[in-house]
Amino acid sequence: MKSIKLIFLLPVLLVAVISGCKNWDNFVAPDAGIYGKVTDAENGQPLEIRQPGGGTVRFIQWDKMKYPNPGTTDIELKANGEFSATQFFAGTYKALPRDGAFLYQPGDSATVDLGNGDRKEVNFKVTPFYRLTASVTDSTFTYTITKPAANTTTKISQIIFMINDYAKVDESISSNTSGYFINLWRQDIAGNVTDASLLGTPRTFTFKWADTHLPKGEYYFRVGVRTTAVAKYNYSPVVKATVR
């Protein structure tokens, strides 16, 4: 008989537990959102960066009383410097772009106040370490590197030339530098070569198309520059060209 009483009591206990959970779970779900872009401070153009891995925007909960050791949320930048995210809790955040091939002063961070259900825009202006333009004719890159005046500390350590058969072109896609399919070439820059000797003048790099083992036709090309400061590249815009 004791076991029968216990069986009748179990449903009652379950109802009590479920009712109690409704009182405990009283937090408002994170339903705020943020979006924006990171652009070149001098010309307003979109950044030319890798995605993922080209940089982030960091959001820091900024209520010292409530969060003495605030948490952070990093949002990956897209290849053109745009970013977006949802499911933020309401509150005040400090935000700054970081971890990319660009200069940004942490003191210039933005403050964002998010209410429940808000979706707010915040934009940033940064200075890329270098700017690149490029063109391609058959198997020859012609490229020019410039250096913003704000960049007084970095030095070019490597130039890369990349090919792909679709429009996403970065060093992770064009990474097979040996073997059957060669689509990335590296030029390491010696420590005694100054930036001034590499800047502002159109230069060429010619490769052997036969080394790629690809049929001739339309492809996508890009040039990248890496600095001594950060192991990430500034890119030229992607160029579509025909190899004949």
170, with CB counted inside 10 A (0-12, 13-18, 19+), is: buried
For residue 147, count other CB atoms closer than 10 A to its CB.
22
| Residue count of the chain | 244
Give the long-range contacts of residues 193-196, CB within 8 A, separation 24 or more: 193/156, 194/155, 195/147, 195/155, 195/156
What's the whole-model pTM score? 0.82
Tell me, what's the pLDDT at 175?
67
pLDDT by 10-residue block (mean), the chain, 244 residues? 45 48 61 94 92 94 83 93 94 94 85 94 95 96 96 95 93 72 92 96 94 91 94 96 93
59, with CB counted inside 10 A (0-12, 13-18, 19+), is: buried
Tell me, what's the pLDDT at 5?
46
43 Ramachandran zone, left/alpha/beta (phi>0; psi -120 to 50): alpha
Q: How far apart are CA 242 and CA 222, in angstroms?
A: 14
Tell me, what's the pLDDT at 182?
87
Q: How far apart are CA 167 and CA 231, in angstroms?
A: 23
